[in-house]
Amino acid sequence: MRIKFTSIVLTLLIGAAAAQANEGGHASWQRAAENEVANLASLQRGARNFMAYCSGCHSLKYARYSRIAEDLKISDETRDQLLVKPGAKFTDYIRSSMPEQDATEWFGKVPPDLSLVARSRSPDWIFNFLTTFYADPASRQTGVNNLQLPGTAMPHVLSSLQGVQRLKPVHKEEEKKEGAAATSNGSGESAAESGHSDSPFEPGVVGSLTPAQYDGFVRDTVNFLQYVSDPTQVERQGLGIWVVLFLLMFTAIAYLLKQEYWKDVR
């Protein structure tokens, strides 16, 4: 009876957690970022990418250059040459170069701070956002649209690398249907399982990177953003192993001590 109750409670708790984790199914074109946040080389490349392509408009207002350099093992020289923006000190937080008023004028909104985007969205979300820009003549502002965030105000900043792909006509139809379904029940879950595993895109204007190279570029950038969202995560997990091992040993010893004393209880 006890065992049953315990297992019911546990099963339901774990079930709830799993259900929560799987929240919002994914569409066939969505891919996993498959980034490794412990990979220093990838993080360094990601930092370089971010400073070169993102930091003009987006801030990382909770992250300092110095901390990033320290965590990513970037030398002081490289830090000052490649990481720190002109006019900034190496101990500064990373601010966007664009005045807010100009941003509102140009894009209709201030580009969001990206310090926590990997936690408020997810690494996969950013990966899909950065890989699914496509040419859309209907978008008069930027000439592009995005599958992950339809109607985004962001132009395709990486078009010189990726080129500008076109959405396959079949997918355009599906997008419309899915869009309609999604609005009818208020969630994006119906976008799942459209049955196509191949890319929804066809090549348009060619960029300087191959598709595989571009994915790698985005993966590094996403990886860097995941690091910035929780800069201690690698250190925390490293320490966590020792803490858990210690506690297991402590529990075992406490158990043996308790058994010794409880021998007297008849």
Partner 1 sequence: MSVGLENKGGFRAWLNKRLPVDQFMADQLTGYYAPKNFNVWYFFGSLALLVFVMQILTGIFITMHFKPGWNTAFDSLQYFVREVPYGWLIHPMHAVGASFFFVVVYLHMARALMYGSYKGPRELLWVIGMLIYLALMAEAFMGYVLPNGNMSYWGAQVIINLFGTIPGIGEALTEWIRGDYGIGDATLTRFFSLHVIAVPFLLALLIALHLVALRQVGSNNPDGIEIKENLGADGKPVDGIPFHPYYTLKDIVGVGAFLTVFAIVVFFVPTFGGLFLEAPNFEPANPTSTPEHIAPVWYFTPYYAILRAVPDQKLGALLMALSVAAFLFLPWLDRAKNKSYRYRGLLSKLHLGLFFVTFCVLLWLGLKPADGLYVLLARIFTALYFLFFVSLPFVSKMDGNGPVPTRVTYNAH
Q: For binding to partner 1 (CB under 8 A), which residues are involved?
A: 1-2, 4-6, 8-9, 12-13, 15-21, 23, 62-63, 67, 115-116, 119-122, 185-187, 229-232, 235-237, 239-241, 243-244, 247-248, 250-251, 254-255, 257-259, 261-263, 265-266
Residues 157 and 95: their CA atoms lie apart, in Å, by 18
CB of 61 to partner 1, least distance (A): 8
In the bound complex, what is the minimum distance in angstroms from residue 28's beta carbon to partner 1? Answer: 21
- Closer residue to partner 1 (CB): 27 or 144: 27
* Location of structure tokens 């976008």: 191
**Phi, then psi, of 89 in degrees rounded to 5:** -90, 155
Least separation in angstroms between CB 254 and partner 1: 5
Nearest CB to partner 1, comparing residues 138 and 241: 241
Residue 236 Cβ vs partner 1, minimum distance, rounded to whole Å: 6
Measure the CA angle with vertex 261, ends 255 and 266; round to 5°: 115
The candidate with the shortest Cα–Cα distance to 115, out of 84, 144, 86, 94, is 94
Beta carbon of residue 238, minimum distance to partner 1 (angstroms, whole number): 9
> What is the rounded distance in angstroms from the CA atom of residue 85 to the CA atom of residue 60?
13
Contact predicate 36/127, CB 8 Å: no
Query: Smallest distance from the beta carbon of 4 to partner 1, in angstroms?
Result: 8
Q: What is the DSSP string of 172-184?
A: HHHHHHHHHHHHH
φ, ψ dihedrals at 223, nearest 5°: -60, -45
Q: Residue 61: how many CA atoms within 13 Å on its side-chain side? A: 7
Closest to partner 1 by CB, 104 vs 208, is 104
Helices (H) and strands (E) in the chain, counts: 11, 6
Smallest distance, Å, CB 7 to partner 1? 11
With b for 16 or more beta-carbon neighbours within 10 A and e for fewer, the 195-216 pattern comes to eeeebbbeeeeebebeeeebbe
Q: How far apart are CA 159 and CA 257, in angstroms?
A: 66
Q: Whose Cβ is closer to partner 1: residue 23's or residue 77's?
A: 23
The residue whose two tokens read 């339901």 is 12
